[in-house]
Structure 1
Amino acid sequence: MDEKLTTKLRILSDAAKYDASCASSGAPKRAAGLDGIGSTSNGICHAYTPDGRCVSLLKILLTNYCLFDCAYCINRRSSNVERARFTVEEVVSLTLNFYKRNYIEGLFLSSGIIRNPDHTMEQLVLAAKTLRREHGFAGYIHLKTIPEANPWLIEQAGLFADRLSINIELPSADSLARFAPEKKAASITGAMSQMKERIDEAKEDRRKFSPAGQSTQVIVGADATTDAALLNTSAVLYKDYALRRVYHSAFSPIPSPSAVLPMKAPPLQRENRLYQADWLLRFYGFTADEVASASRDGMLALDIDPKAAWALQNRERFPLDVNTADREMLLRVPGLGVRSVNKIVAARRHTRLRLADIGRLARSVKRLLPFLITADYRPTRISDRANLRPNLADAPVQGSLF
């Protein structure tokens, strides 16, 4: 790789790291001794395909030049950052070369707005189309779509991408008007609605159109929006637009920040609690209002996960008999995840479950003891909220919900 292209890759992979909507995470180098190529510093991230596989993606921007001046974005037009721009041919070449070397299994491609939204969208689509049509690329492609672009271009993107995403960035129209005046909430939701319609139509006709659906990202802590409001926004997005995922990204102060932004980032634990709450909405049958009912002034507790907080708020509903309780209520027991509950429901058809049985079916019996009754166990007394909270606080992320 020549020096000029290496410099572009460094700039445009770093510029893409603020977008969490492809589920990026740290990854070790695949090949030691190769200076940067294939490492996370040069844009390798992780994402999940529709069948649940974890894949490595080349995560880059087509360019970090941008006509927009969104206050929270490091690539805004008034930002003093090093700029670069790939050609479509360079994006295609990088993707194919990384793929052939087994560094990646796909591409995540976004961009700043150059010339106008239509031109930018055309370039993104052309990159994906060239990979698919001219090179027979069968890897995973995630395209960031631009809501202000012509609807026909967004439809073209869905023909070549596995997933599409449009970032709403901020949860309210008022915040968007203040921090990103060139963006319009109606344009974003309109594009989401269009994508949902095309995805639904493709499923009915058994055609491929963005088979992994669509996702979005919301920035946490750049404005005064509460966690309760964020969760209500997520619930609406899931219900109205069938989004696969709403990613929450904690605001991080950027170089040369806008004066309207907060000077400090929110605690990362807040982002973690919102992700846990998001799982409750998607997989555990909770509503946004139920999760928020255990919050204080609309903010989720930081010392305890939202499922445990709800259980303490509704202590009168526990303990539950594992041999008779509805599946829906078992899913609300702190420490019981979907898989454990399914195993319990299947096993109790054949025998009355004892505490030792639960120990084999769940991850942590200790967390369950105050909330469950088994054939040979019943809590000796109903523990109150004050006594239970210290035992449930600061639990591991996975153990707290799953």
Structure 2
Amino acid sequence: MDIARKLAILADAAKYDASCASSGTDKRNSRGAKGGPARGLGSTEGAGICHSYAPDGRCISLLKILLTNACAFDCLYCVNRATSNVARARFTVEEVVTLTLDFYRRNYIEGLFLSSGVIRSADYTMEQVVRVAKSLRVEHGFKGYIHLKTIPDASPELIAEAGLYADRLSINVELPNEASLRRLAPEKDIQAVKRTMAGLRGRIEEAKAERRAPRFAPAGQSTQMIIGADASDDRAILTTSANLYGSYNLKRVYYSAFSPIPDASAKLPLSAPPLVREHRLYQADWLMRFYGFSVAEIAEDGGMLDLRIDPKLAWALRHRERFPLDIKTASREALLRVPGLGKTTVERILSTRRFRAIRADDLARLRVPLGKVLPFLKLADHTPSIAALDSERLLDRIAPQPRQMAFAL
């Protein structure tokens, strides 16, 4: 099989993994010290032909492939499972290295996202994955971004070596419910996943604490959960995420809506969940990590999030007694709970109100969605009506139509 055909198969096979981002790592490039000769190849600072956005706003693109889509496991939700009737392919280590360098030199990508099906054994597969990263870093001086998927049952020594060459490591928990994982992926061991996560956390924290310690996965670790492949509700999903963040200091939990696959098992749903559910979970995740919300607050009105509106607006409508807030005196924490106000906007409000009263025009210049914000805020030139705030028609008046990719909270 020629390399172009392999690329078509193995890039397509990798599309189901959502935990792919280029952010949070240390900045580096191929320039030598003080304008000297180039040392190595690549950069984590620039931008190529881009197709996605990192959390820090940079437009990024990674070569996202599997080393192989052959797999000894038979996870029922996975298109690459052992019993799946799909075309199979496998790259050699040298082919992945060559592809990465060639794509980078053509300015198509900024780095590599590499995962793999499990072949022969966990250690054999992990060794192949590590060899790719080591070759890029050591033999070719590659300075670009590398994200490696780790194999849960691989030896700690191989996982440790992977962290020396990768910017980010990740290991997927796959499903939020352990019973569901046993039913749909009996060969996977959630305890092995947790042990690997715990080991990664320890090594990452040690590398940050010790100045002379070798760099180790400076962009941290992440994971992915498949949404809608089992009966877990949104409260259960967010509870699992909160526990993962707290226990293993993960950088991100990614949510991937279940997609029906060919020759699917009768144990799987017949249809995919609405994509807006995945979107609402990302918004709820953001509220937990950056806005001080707990799972109980986000999902207090039942197990599922409201698909019509974002979870912050849903919370505000359930707690209308807390509003309107006086923008002159409200705390940072209270302002962060106002629908339509993001962290940057709140910081600007706090800075501005020290010198003058804030009016609706000031918020408009900050590109705040006034229709969403004004019912909840008292300004120098605006006092919302309590009757309007209590009105059952408020939701219809201010709620936007659901948008798959809108992340403003």
TM-score, normalised by the number of residues in structure 2 = 0.89
Offset from partner CA, 1:148-187 (integer Å, 9 cap, x none): 1101111111000000000100012111100110111111
Give the 5 Å matches for 1:85-104: 85-104=90-109
Aligned residue number for residue 278 of structure 2: 271
Q: Is 2:227 the partner of 1:220?
A: yes
Secondary structure of residue in 1 paired with 2:306: coil
Offset from partner CA, 1:229-253 (integer Å, 9 cap, x none): 1011111111111111110000000
Contact 1:110 1:124 in 2 (8 A): yes
Partners in 1 of 2:78 and 2:321 — Cα distance? 46
Aligned residue number for residue 126 of structure 2: 121
Aligned residue number for residue 204 of structure 1: 209
Q: CA deviation at 1:385?
A: 5.4
Q: Is 2:253 the partner of 1:243?
A: no
Give the 5 Å matches for 1:87-166: 87-166=92-171
Q: Gaps spanning 5+ residues in structure 1: where?
A: 25-42
Partners in 1 of 2:175 and 2:194 — Cα distance? 12
Aligned residues: 379
Contact 1:304 1:392 in 2 (8 A): no
Aligned residue number for residue 31 of structure 1: none
Q: Which moved more, 1:380-389 or 1:274-283?
A: 380-389
Partners in 1 of 2:202 and 2:63 — Cα distance? 29
Q: Which moved more, 1:307-316 or 1:345-354?
A: 345-354
Q: CA deviation at 1:305?
A: 0.9
Give the 5 Å matches for 1:3-402: 4-23=2-21, 46=52, 48=54, 53-206=58-211, 207-294=214-301, 296=302, 298-382=303-387, 383-384=389-390, 386-395=392-401, 397=403, 401-402=408-409
Would the alpha carbon gap of residues 250 and 291 (structure 1) be closer, same or farther in structure 2, given more than 3 Å must change?
same
RMSD of the TM alignment (CA)?
A: 1.8
Q: CA deviation at 1:54?
A: 3.1
Q: CA deviation at 1:377?
A: 1.6
Q: CA deviation at 1:7?
A: 0.5
Would the alpha carbon gap of residues 179 and 337 (structure 1) be closer, same or farther in structure 2, given more than 3 Å must change?
same
Partners in 2 of 1:72 and 1:48 — Cα distance? 27
Partners in 2 of 1:392 and 1:52 — Cα distance? 27
Paired amino acid for 1:229: A
TM-score, normalised by the number of residues in structure 1 = 0.91
The percent identity for this pair of structures is 61
Secondary structure of residue in 2 paired with 1:386: coil
Partners in 1 of 2:223 and 2:64 — Cα distance? 16
Q: Which moved more, 1:385-394 or 1:269-278?
A: 385-394
Contact 2:339 2:373 in 1 (8 A): yes
Contact 2:307 2:402 in 1 (8 A): no
Secondary structure of residue in 2 paired with 1:332: coil
Partners in 2 of 1:11 and 1:60 — Cα distance? 9
Partners in 1 of 2:114 and 2:361 — Cα distance? 50
Offset from partner CA, 1:251-307 (integer Å, 9 cap, x none): 00011111210101111111111111111111111111110114x3x0001111111
Paired amino acid for 2:318: Q
Q: Gaps spanning 5+ residues in structure 2: where?
A: 23-48
